[in-house]
Amino acid sequence: MQLFTNILSHLKDQNRYRSLNLPNGIDLTSNDYLGMAVHPLLRESAIKALENGIDIGAAGSRLLRGHTSHHAKLEKFACTYFNAPKTLFFANGFIANYALFTALPDRHDVILYDALIHASVREGMRASNAKSFKFAHNDIDALENLLNKHKGNHIWIAIESIYSMDGDRAALQDVYNLIKRYGNATLIIDEAHATGIYGTNGKGLAYDIICKHGYDNIITLHTCGKAIGVAGGLVCADANIIDYMINKSRPFIYSTAPMPLQALLVQKSLEVLDSDDGQKRRGKLLSLCSKAQKLFGGAGSQIVPIILGEDEKAMRVASAMQDKGYDIRAIRPPTVPQGSARLRLSLSSNLDEDILQNFADALKTL
Ligand SMILES: Cc1ncc(COP(=O)(O)O)c(C=O)c1O
C-alpha cells in the first residue's frame, strides 16, 4: 500500500492528482452537446418502457440470452440511419474502440494512428498483436510516409473526425483519398464528438463519404453518451467486419449485454436528432460555436480549448472559475500533451449566449 500512497502523493505534488467532484454550477464541461441527456421525450420513453415491463438487466451476453429485441431493433435502425450494411452496439465507446483494435488487426498488420487519438484506441492498440505507429496530428504527409513504409502490410488507420480535447477536424476527404490510393488500408473513424451534430442531419462527418463510396474500407464508431445523451457505442461497418467482431471480439462475447433500456433510449434519441427538434438544437449549438470562436479562438466546434500551459495554472484558473459559479474543469497531461494544460470549454445547445460572454469577462478579470 505504501507504494500507492507514494505515487498518489507524487501526483499531488505535480498537480496531477484526480478526484471525483459532483456537478456544481453552470455546465461548461459535459458532453451533452445537444441537451439530449435531459430531454423530456427520452425521460417519457424510459418511464413508458419501464411501465410496460421492459427487463432491467439483459442478464447475459448478446450471444446467449442477453440479445433482446431492443438491441436488435436499435442495430437495424442504426443501419438505415448511418447507411451501414451492419452495426453492432456496445455498452460504451471506450469498450467499442478497445474491441475494434484488439479484434481486427492481426500480428502481420500495422496500425497508424493520429498523435492525438483517444485513450480508448491507445488501450486497444496496446493489447493488439499488431505493431502501431504514430503520425503527427492531422499531418497527411506524415501519414503518407508511413503508408509507403508499410506498403506490404494491411494497414488500419485510427483517426477522430473531431478531436476530443482540441475540437479540430480531421481532413477526412484527404485521408480517404490517400487510403483509396494505397488500397490495402482500412480507415477507422471515431465520430464520438461529431455524431448528432455534424454531417447530414448530424449523422457524422464521414456520412457523405460513406454515402458515396460505401463501407468497403471504412469503419465508423458513433459513441452514444455525448450528443446522443445516453450511453453506448455503435460500430458501423461492412457485414463481414461486424460478423467477425461477433465471433472474435472478446469484450463483445464475454460481457453482459447493455441494458435493453439503453438500446431503446439510444434509438429514441437518434429519432429526435433526425427531426426538426434535432435540427433546431444543432442550429443553436452552431451559433454558440461561432460566438465562442470569436471570444476564445479555437477551431469553431463545440469543444473550445483554453490553453493555459502549466498544470498548476490550469488548476488554479479552473478553481477560481468554479468559485464564480461555472462548472469548468482543468484538463492536464497525460490526457493532453505536456505544457498544454487547459480549460476544456464544452458548449451545449441548452446554454444561453449571455453566459458565454459573462464567462469570457470573468476569465479576463482573473
Ligand atoms: C474520441 C473518443 N472516443 C471514445 C470515447 C469513449 O466513449 P465513451 O465515453 O462512450 O466510453 C471518448 C470519450 O471521451 C472520446 O472522446
Q: Is 150 a pocket residue for ligand 1 (Cβ < 6 Å)?
A: no
- What CA–CA distances, in Å, run from 192 to 64, 106, 112, 235, 251? 29, 25, 19, 11, 19
Neighbour order of strands in the sheet with 303-309:
303-309, 341-346, 330-331
Residues 291, 355: Cα–Cα separation, whole Å? 11
Helix (H, G, I), strand (E, B) or coil at 189: strand
Question: What's the confidence (pLDDT) of residue 265?
Answer: 99
Contact yes or no for 25/359 (Cβ under 8 A): no
- Tally of CA atoms within 13 A in the half-sphere of 336 that contains its CB: 22
Cell digits of residue 114: 493520429
Helix axes 260-273, 40-51, angle to 10 degrees: 140
Q: 126-142 pLDDT, tens per residue? A: 999 999 999 999 999 99
Question: What's the confidence (pLDDT) of residue 327?
Answer: 98
* Cross-strand partners of 305: 344
Question: What's the confidence (pLDDT) of residue 109?
Answer: 98
Cell digits of residue 161: 473526425
Closest ligand 1 atom to Cα of 224: 10
Cα angle for residues 91, 96, 101 (degrees, 5° grid): 160
What is the distance in angstroms between the CA of the first residue and the CA of the last residue of the chain?
A: 40
Q: 151-190 pLDDT, tens per residue? A: 999 999 999 999 999 999 999 999 999 999 998 999 999 9
Domains parsed from the chain with CATH numbers:
18-33+302-365 (3.90.1150.10), 42-273 (3.40.640.10)
Task: Give yes or no for a cis peptide into 334 (omega within 30° of 0).
Answer: yes
φ/ψ of residue 14, rounded to 5: -85, 0
Q: Is 190 a pocket residue for ligand 1 (Cβ < 6 Å)?
A: yes
Length of the chain equals: 366
Question: What's the confidence (pLDDT) of residue 203?
Answer: 98
Question: What's the confidence (pLDDT) of residue 72?
Answer: 98
Q: Is 225 a pocket residue for ligand 1 (Cβ < 6 Å)?
A: yes
Q: Is 223 a pocket residue for ligand 1 (Cβ < 6 Å)?
A: yes
Contact yes or no for 258/232 (Cβ under 8 A): yes
Which residue's C-alpha cell is 487510403? 179
Q: Is 233 a pocket residue for ligand 1 (Cβ < 6 Å)?
A: yes
Contact yes or no for 290/323 (Cβ under 8 A): no
Which mutation among 94, 188, 329 tests ligand 1's pocket best, with the greatest number of atoms within 8 A of CB? 94
Whole-model pTM over 0.95 = yes
Residues 28, 346: Cα–Cα separation, whole Å? 5
Would strands 86-90 and 233-237 be described as parallel, antiparallel, or unpaired?
Answer: antiparallel
In the chain, which residues have pLDDT < 70? none
